[in-house]
Amino acid sequence: MTSNAGADVDVVCLGESMVTFVPSAPGRLADVPSFARTIGGAESNVACALAAAGHRAKWVGRVGTDGFGEHLVEAIAAYGVDTSAVARDPERPTGVYFRTATDRATSDHEVVYYRAGSAASAMSPETVPWETVGGGRVLHLSGITAALSEDCLALMRELVGGRPGRPLVSFDVNHRAGLWRDGRGPEVLLGLVRGADVVFVGEDEAEEAWGVVGPDAVRELLPEPAVLVVKRGGDGAVAFERGAATRTAVPATRTAVPAPRVDVVAPVGAGDAFAAGFLSATLRGLGVKERLRHGHLMAAAALTVPGDLAVPARRSHADRLAALSDDAWGRLRLGPGWTGDHQEVRTP
């Protein structure tokens, strides 16, 4: 498998992006008086974060020929993302959704999707040619796309297949039980991630989907990916890595890196930002410990702003923090504004 080192694009991200309506105040959706319009989509979030970090990122998706679709493409392009391959569907609408201000992991969180029959659900091997997605160094996917339609699932299976010369395939599990009304999500996702090269999965979602507890149990279930990252929220992340030349069941390394303490403004967007930080460091050829730290730093940037997306710290600033000793890293505390050039990082 080649890394497409000479590609004009660093990362191609494929998936549905939707117009998101975020509440003007806390509370139930039934009680929120008004909403502000923004954008949301796991894969486009990663593309935007990577572009903001200085990488050549491309988003491939499908939107309706409506005002929401126009807004999405313009907003994502404003981050410096290449949107030239986004298709417009005159017969299907752009998806939208509404959410509450609470953490997605809490029982109080509400989200209502209006995405059934959306333009993105018409993505398929026929509507998304390989030439559109296969030209980057990395192809980033997520499990959300597979749940949109049978055509989308067929596309995902083709993209994680063993096509000669494919780029490095990155896959964020993003298990959303509510999208899999037939209950087959865990089985489908398990098959998809086993074909990927780099896999991101939350410890909690692995337990929910597959009934496995702890990073080592996840690795035992998923020996195939060359790199498996198990995210543990505030407890950090664990990466399992082996040599790329073979696909054996024995991991070469197990690296755990704690997350810095963060003064959270809004608990959304951190997972996508973590993937972007990790992939950014991967593209730069950094070691696994540094990749995990850059993932944490990009996640901290997202957690300390109100929306899903944040401008990351300058590369020199992030590199300085990622190079700290273990003791100094353990004392980091990141709050709003920490990514600014002159913002001091507080330690206790």
Residues 58-97 pLDDT 10s = 999 999 999 999 999 999 999 999 999 999 999 999 999 9
pLDDT tens per residue across span 3-29: 565 568 999 999 999 999 989 888 999
pLDDT tens per residue across span 127-179: 999 999 999 999 999 999 999 999 999 999 999 998 888 999 999 999 998 88
Please check whether residue 309 is in contact with residue 240, taking contact to mean a CB–CB distance below 8 angstroms: no
User: Per the structure block, which two tokens stand in for 335?
Assistant: 């709050």
CA atoms of 34 and 20, how far apart (whole Å):
13
pLDDT at 5: 55
CA atoms of 65 and 293, how far apart (whole Å):
40
- 216, 272, 327, 341: which is the annotated catalytic residue? 272
Report the amino acid identity of residue 65.
T
CA atoms of 301 and 339, how far apart (whole Å):
7
pLDDT at 162: 85
pLDDT tens per residue across span 265-296: 887 889 999 999 999 999 999 999 999 999 99
pLDDT tens per residue across span 231-256: 999 999 999 998 654 444 554 799 99
CA atoms of 74 and 7, how far apart (whole Å):
24
DSSP β-ladder status, 9-14 and 87-89: unpaired
Q: Could you tell me which residues are beta bridge partners of residue 23?
A: 35
DSSP β-ladder status, 253-257 and 237-241: antiparallel
DSSP secondary structure letter of residue 82:
B
pLDDT level of residue 344 (50, 70, 90 thresholds): very low
Summarize the confidence of residues 95-103 as an average pLDDT: 84
3 state DSSP class of 209: helix
> Is residue 343 scored above 90 in pLDDT?
no
Is 263 among the residues known to form the active site?
A: no
Please check whether residue 192 is in contact with residue 146, taking contact to mean a CB–CB distance below 8 angstroms: yes
Q: Could you tell me which residues are beta bridge partners of residue 171?
A: 141, 199
3 state DSSP class of 174: coil
pLDDT at 278: 98
